[in-house]
Amino acid sequence: MITIDQIRQRLILEIQSSGISQREIAIGLGVSEPTVSQYMSGRAMPSLETFANLCKLLDLDPSYLLCVKD
C-alpha cells in the first residue's frame, strides 16, 4: 500500500537533488518560498495542479513521485 509519507519522501528527495533553489521552484510554481519550504519539511503537500506543475518543472514522471513506478 502506498502512503502519503512515501510520496512526501520522494518529493523531498527529488526537490533536493534537482539543484534548483527553493526560490526558483516557488517562482516556477507561482507559490511563495515558505510554501515550498513547507513541502520540504513535510508540513504541507502541493495541490494536484501544483504537483503536476512541479513534475513538469523538475522533469519528473508523476507516477514515480506517486510511488506507482520505481
pLDDT at position 69: 77
Domain residue spans of the chain = 4-65
Measure the CA–CA gap between 68 and 22, rounded to whole angstroms. Answer: 26
**What architecture is the 4-65 domain classified under in CATH?**
Orthogonal Bundle (1.10)
What lies within 8 Å, CB to CB, of 23 at 6+ separation is 33
Are 66 and 7 in contact by the 8 Å Cβ rule? The answer is yes
**Global confidence as pTM:** 0.84
What are the pLDDT tens digits along the chain (70 aa)? 888 889 889 988 998 999 999 999 999 999 999 999 998 888 898 999 999 999 999 999 999 988 887 7
